[in-house]
Chain A
């Protein structure tokens, strides 16, 4: 027990110190984690061999990340990028493998080893690249999307590679392995003992299960769980989903990351999307962080120092080759200038799958262990350099190209992003108005029943408590242009407004208020527009009453106008003397003023022939005949 605690303590400590430091220095979190790993591993020797095992666990962070990426990507969007995926991705893997294989052969390796090296190095690091792209907000750019397509293709390509590598085995190495009595324990699999076609059927069935199950079963399941109204149970369900799918995928020999990615895409349209996102996100973050630390910690300084020259020159050559191939592809696929560089620099490293493949090559006697150790360092080193390449892109390349592009392209204004909290009687009307005006909204509601009801009328709503900062974040608070708080819980409304204002000084907040006092509070909390929930309808009822008493409708309209206007000015005056510390009825200044402004409102409305003309009375008043 203490051992585990100590380890956890060391890892967390390293992360807690290194990551904020790296961020402050503008280096990005990935580099922070990697550094932390180097410090606690090779440098200080706090952690040792167990990093290998921890790394396997931590790789699950990649699985979760792909699930989250999938959640952001609707099936339609995925289909739309199929050309990029196959074209860019396929060519990247094929060309990079070819060039590196050729080079390795030129350096005197046999073809089988060369090919294995080519395959290992053709892959890039999904973890580092996606994390960095997300962190910098480049995911949505053309370059970011292209990188993502390639990474996705690589994730798929790993599967045939895993199958191919054992076939490259060198006889002499194999013999040595056998005589040493080593045997690699095979993983549990559903496919053992099945004929090829049967295996194919089972595999396809598993994929189908993810898609169909995700589409039809997830909803009732999550609805059921949501009814319990226990946050941790929902989190458990979310984890269950991700782990379950990953398990199923590994049982049939498919990439777990790919499976969860697929599940994410299927669930991208689900009303539980944002809740899932906010539940999984912290796990993903921690695991990925852990993964990066283990990469840093796993660098073997002894081997490194023995071959510094080789490792460095190989790493730089690798990055140059990969970037070269990517630049070529960017040209062929006609990416913009800054996108080209982002694409080329972001994918120029080798990736975590490289570790897996290298381990496999050694196990299967494809590559001699000594060579594999050096290659492992090259993989790790190239990953280590990636954050630096990103910084290089951001600090030196991007500024220059942005100024160049500005003159050329017209900036296309992005569509406003609007979050609506609450889809009861109040929020629904707002949402319908916005939708019919062509805006897109993200609607959150805490009641699974309400969501289900409005879903029947075709209103898409996400499940979750908008008062939870992480959920608001998942719903896009960081990039939203407007937040509309339409829930009927006064305290929660204030929490949401306060939080949103703290996070986003510039966002426009429209808030539903219960009464006058609520208005003052929400004003202090930083809402821009505060609307008393019953005020307008009461005013309309008053107008109907006046019309019912045979007042000319346009006169009644003027009374409404006068009343609303003077109430508005009264609110403004009262807000100044209102003190949240004192109950309104005990605040003498407030009570006095409210009496006075009420009288003022009445004179404003009532027709008065006196010098102080009423708002209604003065409207369209011609000069008196005596004035002419």
Chain B
């Protein structure tokens, strides 16, 4: 069994539909550490020591956040800036995260169609995640493709949302219980709820 750490970042949970629902359900899962970064550090004063300890104690780090201006919410960026320290995460002696896994759970306002070179967003979704992937690489983290919900604002009806949340929990459980075929996931650019069921079936 792997130890799972979910770092959740959403600065306006009063407006959130998708991520709040995901967070509420994920917190009920057994043997998963769930951290609401904005609740722990409302004044952005991140306890670097404690965050590093947490990373050391877990095997898989899941970053859950809504895409904001093609990046992470600002506190999650602050977290990266402070916690992934030289000598800890990279550089000389900075191999403390080596071999761990980084997983991403992202929701976007933009639709799936928009995220293409010819679409409204002009790039595919993974392009926007290049900084995160390279960060993982430098920290010797194994980075999984993101679990995505496109069109999180308008296109997602309640049934879709429920399925997304359900599958999110299955994904976290799968990571924990090592029921996921890492190889076949790794080749995908990203995956959505409907793909997950198949993945879990082939893995089991």
Interface residues of A (CB under 8 A from B): 552-557, 607, 617, 619-623, 625, 628
A554:B42 contact, CB within 8 angstroms: yes
Question: Which one of A553, A554, A617, A622 lies within 8 Å of B109 (CB-CB)?
Answer: A622
Which residues does chain B contribute within 8 Å of A555, judged by CB atoms? 13-14
Question: Which one of B39, B68, B109, B154 lies within 8 Å of A552 (CB-CB)?
Answer: B39
B39:A554 contact, CB within 8 angstroms: yes
Complex Cα spacing A625 to B40, Å: 30
Which residues does chain A contribute within 8 Å of B15, judged by CB atoms? 620-622
Answer yes or no: B38 CB below 8 A from chain A CBs. Answer: yes
State the Cβ distance, A615 to closest chain B Cβ, in Å: 13
Complex Cα spacing A625 to B68, Å: 16
Which residues does chain A contribute within 8 Å of B14, judged by CB atoms? 552, 555, 607, 617
Which residues does chain B contribute within 8 Å of A607, judged by CB atoms? 14
Complex Cα spacing A622 to B67, Å: 11
Which residues does chain A contribute within 8 Å of B39, judged by CB atoms? 552-554
Complex Cα spacing A556 to B38, Å: 11
Which residues does chain A contribute within 8 Å of B38, judged by CB atoms? 552-554
B13:A552 contact, CB within 8 angstroms: yes
Answer yes or no: B181 CB below 8 A from chain A CBs. Answer: no
The digit string for B27-42, where 1 denotes a CB below 8 A from any CB of A, is: 0000000000011101
Complex Cα spacing A620 to B13, Å: 9
Q: Which of B1-60 contact A (CB under 8 A)?
A: 11-15, 38-40, 42-43
B12:A621 contact, CB within 8 angstroms: yes
Which residues does chain A contribute within 8 Å of B169, judged by CB atoms? none
Complex Cα spacing A621 to B13, Å: 10
Known: A607-B14, A619-B12. 15 other contacts (CB 8 A): A553-B42, A554-B11, A555-B14, A556-B42, A557-B42, A557-B43, A619-B11, A621-B15, A622-B109, A622-B153, A623-B109, A623-B153, A625-B153, A628-B153, A628-B154
By beta carbon, the residue of chain A nearest B151 is: A628
Complex Cα spacing A554 to B40, Å: 8
Interface residues of B (CB under 8 A from A): 11-15, 38-40, 42-43, 68, 109, 153-154
Can you name 14 A-B pairs with beta carbons within 8 Å? A552-B13, A552-B14, A552-B39, A553-B38, A554-B39, A617-B14, A619-B12, A620-B11, A620-B15, A620-B68, A622-B109, A623-B153, A628-B109, A628-B154
Which residues does chain A contribute within 8 Å of B153, judged by CB atoms? 622-623, 625, 628
By beta carbon, the residue of chain B nearest A625 is: B154
State the Cβ distance, B7 to closest chain A Cβ, in Å: 15
Closest 3 CB pairs of A and B: A620-B12, A553-B42, A625-B154
Which residues does chain A contribute within 8 Å of B12, judged by CB atoms? 619-621
Which residues does chain B contribute within 8 Å of A552, judged by CB atoms? 13-14, 38-39
State the Cβ distance, B26 to closest chain A Cβ, in Å: 16
By beta carbon, the residue of chain B nearest A557 is: B42
Complex Cα spacing A625 to B155, Å: 8
State the Cβ distance, A110 to closest chain B Cβ, in Å: 82
State the Cβ distance, B68 to closest chain A Cβ, in Å: 8
Complex Cα spacing A62 to B60, Å: 79
Complex Cα spacing A623 to B12, Å: 13
Which residues does chain B contribute within 8 Å of A623, judged by CB atoms? 109, 153
State the Cβ distance, B152 to closest chain A Cβ, in Å: 9
Complex Cα spacing A553 to B12, Å: 11
Which residues does chain A contribute within 8 Å of B154, judged by CB atoms? 625, 628
State the Cβ distance, A313 to closest chain B Cβ, in Å: 76
Complex Cα spacing A622 to B43, Å: 22
Which residues does chain B contribute within 8 Å of A617, judged by CB atoms? 14
State the Cβ distance, A392 to closest chain B Cβ, in Å: 60
Which residues does chain B contribute within 8 Å of A620, judged by CB atoms? 11-12, 15, 68
